[in-house]
Amino acid sequence: MTECYFSECSVGVDYFNSKKCKFCDNLYCFEHIQLESHDCVKTIHVKFLRKDWLRKYELNISSGQYKVVCDQCGFVSSFSLIDFAGTERESHIKKQGCEGSKVFLEEI
């Protein structure tokens, strides 16, 4: 039996008590299948989206286009995939010194 892919979990998983993450393709127990529970590498920046929870809007975060928007200094980036936009958000916060709570990702 395989273990849940979440590093801090040692639950044995099989076909009946686990699911594969549709973004990172790893196998997780039911407790860690939610994106926010296993810090999915494809969606680690999701928590910075300005919109409410993704499933409500049925967004495809893996192929959507996002821009960085800073409410503190007015910065707006060009559009890119969420991984790149998230990295650009982090870079903006470090370089400009803006508060992270005021820098968001927005989808097209």
Amino acid, res. 45 = H
**Helix (H) / strand (E) containing 94:** helix 82-96
Kindly give, in sequence order, each residue whose CB lies less than 8 Å from that of residue 81, ignoring residues fewer than 6 positions away.
62, 63, 64, 65, 66
Residues 23, 35: Cα–Cα separation, whole Å: 9
Task: Spell out the per-residue pLDDT of the chain, length 108, in tens.
Answer: 789 999 899 999 988 888 988 778 889 999 998 877 887 776 778 778 876 545 445 566 767 788 999 999 999 999 998 889 999 999 999 999 999 999 999 887
Block residue for tokens 């999915």: 40
Residues 46, 36: Cα–Cα separation, whole Å: 8
